[in-house]
Amino acid sequence: MTPQAWIFAGYFAVVFAIGWHSLRATRNEEDYWIAGGELGWFTGGATMAATHTSAGTFIGTIGVMYTAGWSFGWVLLAIPLSYWFMVAVLAPRFTKQKELTLPAFIETRYYGKGIRGLAGVIILIATVVYIQAQIIAGGLIANTVFGIPTTAGMVGFTAILLIYTVIGGMVAVVYTDVFQLVVMGLGAVFAVPLALRQVGGVGRLLELAESAHPLVFTWETMPAVLLLTMGLSFFLGGIATPEKLIRLYAMKDMRVIRRGVLFAIIMILALNLLVFMLALTAIVLFPQLPTGDLAMPMVATAVLPATLGSLMLAAITAAMMSTVDSLLIVAGSALSVDIYQNLVNPDVTPERRMWVDRIGILVVGSVPVILLLSGVGEGELIQFIVLLFTALMAAAFVMPVVGGIVWRRATKQGAAAAMVGGVTATFAWEIFGPASVEPVLAGFLVSAALFIGVSLASPPPPASALAPYFEDVDPVPD
């Protein structure tokens, strides 16, 4: 076999071994969905960083910077701010009562099974959008490495993801994430010095990048309002995306959460800095690519030696897989726990629940690739698909989640109106609004207005809904 084939064979062998080991370590639903709630700071922080560092980083961010220049890099400063907010404001109250899913929190705080089901449906819709972006990246990598059609690559990567995620659940996801973060780090650390050598060092790189793309270091390639609303999307979406919130439940306590999130911030910033350097290298060496999403695969195959190029492509694969497996856990739990077990068959036996859980992940993982094969979502720049997902999550969940733990007057009616109105406004703006403003702005403003207005117009919540999150409230019989 070629060096590329050996590296990928070894990578997938480790992933499958972790999945098989995780099957033996998964004893119940708590293990399957939140890894027993006992993760330490290193595993918790590593899985959070790996989940964040998706194909949106290794292909999408490079693709946008290749097209639009350095200005997009400043948008990503919103990401550490969102993690700080998560630890300083959200986590202390949000984790007082651990749940298996985000919609389960919605049910507890907003005292209703119906609103939990609504949250589950929204997560399913938005997750399909995001998983599509990662599957597109998998198809591009398979085409680059093995020369197979992109569609075949998308199907193959999806199958591999489904196998180990269905088998091992959150335990498998966490430990494959740790392994995949190591692969991502090694790939980027080895790639950047070699790429810089090709162009003559950092100083020469900056000169050549500006020569090849005269606007690369200006603010003229993207409207200022678009950059600002992109930053808002990353900030709000970072707070409210279910795959990150569930990791707060998976970590042992607040002390562990603080250390884990700090570790995640350091790793995310370091990886993004390395990715920025590779984006500039691609501008210099490959100035005429038909799409920016090809920039990273071209650097890996045409600039790096075969073995290191394969490691870089494995890093991209790890980024894609570490995000999709987490999304499969979130969406699978929404389908099996929050919709089926909550609304359709509440009396399902514990033994049957594990089978339902696995079938939920299998169904959720199959739909995005079927849609892509049908032409739905194909051809979009990956980073912009990611931005749509974060906008949907921000519009749906920032107000119900953050408002629910800081504002006692928040009601079930207000939360439901915020979720439906926010998602509707986001989709409407994506379809009909000007492209110079990200849909997150319209979605969040509508969500906030409905959350506050409808809550004030509806009866106050019962004390039993407030007691888990506010220390001075005693639950009383409703």
Whether this model's pTM surpasses 0.75: yes
Contacts by 463-471 with C-beta closer than 8 Å and gap 24+? 464/111, 465/108, 465/109, 465/110, 465/111, 466/408, 468/96, 468/97, 468/108, 468/109, 469/93, 469/94, 469/96, 469/97, 469/109, 469/404, 469/405, 470/93, 470/408
Spatial contact of 181 and 18, defined as CB atoms under 8 Å apart: no
For domain 3-381, is the CATH number 3.30.70.100?
Answer: no
Tell me the one-letter amino acid at 182: V
Q: Is 203 exposed, middle or buried (0-12, 13-18, 19+ CB in 10 A)?
A: exposed
Contacts by 67-71 with C-beta closer than 8 Å and gap 24+? 67/221, 67/292, 67/381, 68/221, 68/222, 69/213, 69/215, 69/216, 69/217, 69/218, 69/221, 69/222, 70/216, 70/217, 70/276, 70/280, 71/218, 71/219, 71/221, 71/222, 71/227
Which pLDDT value is given to residue 478?
Answer: 46
Would you kindly state where each structural domain of the chain is located, as residue ranges? 3-381
* Residue numbers of the chain with a pLDDT score lower than 70: 1, 3, 54-56, 144-145, 375-386, 474-478
Which pLDDT value is given to residue 223?
Answer: 82
Which pLDDT value is given to residue 64?
Answer: 79
Which pLDDT value is given to residue 187?
Answer: 82
Which pLDDT value is given to residue 250?
Answer: 92
